[in-house]
Amino acid sequence: MQQYLLGIDIGTSACKTALFDREGNVISTAAREYKVYYPKPGYAEQDPGEWWEAVCLAVRQMREAKQIPTESIAGIGIDGQSWSAIAVDKKGEVLTNTPIWMDTRAVGICREIQDRIGADALFSLTGNPLQPSYSTAKVLWYQRHLPEVYAHTCKILQSNSYIAFRLTGNMTQDLSQGYGFHCFNMHTGQWDEAMCEALGIPRSFLPEICPSHAVVGTVTETAARECGLSAGIPVVAGGLDAACGALGAGVIHPGETQEQGGQAGGMSICTDTYRADPRLILGFHVVPGTWLLQGGTTGGGGVMRWLEREFGTYEQEEGKRQGKSALTLFNEAAEQIPAGSDGLVFLPYMAGERSPIWDPDAKGLFYGLDFRKTKAHFIRSAMEGVACSLRHNLEVAEQAGARVDVLRAMGGSANSLLWTQIKSDLTGKPVAVPSSDTATTLGAALLAGVGIGMYSDFEEAVKCTVREKRMHKPNPEYREVYEKTYRIYRELYPQLCELMRKEQADSKRRKR
């Protein structure tokens, strides 16, 4: 019987599942959406129970669509969004919604910890700045504001490890997601008990660390009934979505770089040496012996989804008539606008901003409006603004000594030939596009393939499965106009950041 690998992706807006054969061909896919809750300014949280419900529904839909026998699934890999802090009790019951990577409620706690322990001491151990979006601050927020939750917490899980727990009954922590905690030693890949004590995070909260491709258990009878799977299927620990996406895009060697075009934007540069910079994010890759130097921004593909939701009613209706998606029509409209969007420049700081400015008070902005601007200008400018944020992170990474040759694009944004070309033109880097829609779930599945021995190593896994679909090269014709766009982009935030912070502080005072 043909054997398949199942990849499960716990994204910000939806769970995606995909089944692959050994050659990386997609056999079947499915997706189920869930909500992000914004109960207060600075809050962004999700219900892990809704993730599990989405997994069960998507797995059943994916398998039943192609009548896949459950016994043909040889292994399961899971990837997930970063910096969750899922508090579970001894029975594995979730005690509260988890703040997600966009959540910035713990700004004050971060400042207190930095003053008490020292930003340098934290950074030298973990290779990452202490920011409210990381898991560390969220656990300490529970301690201060949800003492009942904190008192009953047995473990803190990440998004992928929570799904692994629901599948296997075992609570785990993979290596690639360790970077969310500032008691994680980025040099050794182990928990640092002295820093746990200094931070006030009990070591018992943190599961033992295991490689991303390690088998952590098998599907239980209960999970099998809920998901429509067979009991006994091996499940590997899985890893960070960006790291699995990098693997699924073929990024496994130093200098190879993944460009992320999902809900968030950013890049991940593979390196075989520890290379930290406080303006960026450093984590272990899911590929043993390597790290990923990352730039993570809040404005990625989610910007286009926001534009469609708020301003795309016509395109949604017209798309039904033409048999096209609203985003396809957005893309066609943006193609009619010249490079540089006639001077309209966009800051994609839609939920504060992560690297490289690390400002939870940063705001999105369109600059350069006049009566000549159309909806199409806004669409193209949004694409260019996200590309500017990518360039900003790449420049900082190269200043830190990382080498970037070719970007390997993944995520839904890579389906747009225009947007991908804009990223190439604005960064000055060639952009290769493998199977963009399924790179992340493929990476998760490849972890399972290596873990169960379907592939001898990651080299074989990538060689068997990753195929380049197209290549974009920078167009020198647009260099001058994009240099101007980028210059304005870089000047806007420094001139407005104090105003943004003042407005945010005033807003918080008014709500008290």
Q: Beta strand 470-472 with 431-433: parallel, antiparallel or unpaired?
A: antiparallel
Characterize 91-103 residue by residue with b for buried, 16 or more Cβ atoms within 10 angstroms of its Cβ, and e for exposed. Answer: eeebbbbbbbbbb
Confidence (pTM) = 0.89
pLDDT tens digits along 252-297 = 999 899 998 878 889 999 999 999 999 999 999 999 999 999 998 8
Q: Beta strand 73-80 with 239-240: parallel, antiparallel or unpaired?
A: parallel
pLDDT tens digits along 117-152 = 999 999 999 999 999 999 999 999 999 999 999 999
pLDDT reported for residue 71: 95
pLDDT reported for residue 504: 81
Give the Cα separation of 100 and 103 in Å (integer): 6
pLDDT at 380 over 90: yes
Question: Prior bond to 69 cis, omega within 30?
Answer: no
pLDDT tens digits along 397-407 = 999 999 898 99
Provide the token pair at 261: 């075009």
Q: What is the DSSP letter of 203?
A: G
CA 8 to centroid of chain Cα atoms? 14
Is the domain covering 4-250 a CATH 3.30.420.40 domain?
A: yes
Q: Which of 261, 220, 218 is CA-nearest to residue 242?
A: 261
pLDDT tens digits along 299-350 = 889 999 999 999 999 999 999 999 999 999 999 999 999 999 999 999 999 9
Provide the token pair at 347: 């800051």
pLDDT tens digits along 101-121 = 999 999 999 999 999 999 999
Give the Cα separation of 429 and 479 in Å (integer): 12
Give the Cα separation of 451 and 446 in Å (integer): 8
Give the Cα separation of 162 and 166 in Å (integer): 6
pLDDT reported for residue 503: 86
List every span in the chain annotated with CATH 3.30.420.40.
4-250, 301-433+475-511
- Counting every residue written for the chain, the total comes to 512
CATH superfamily ID and name for 301-433+475-511: ATPase, nucleotide binding domain (3.30.420.40)
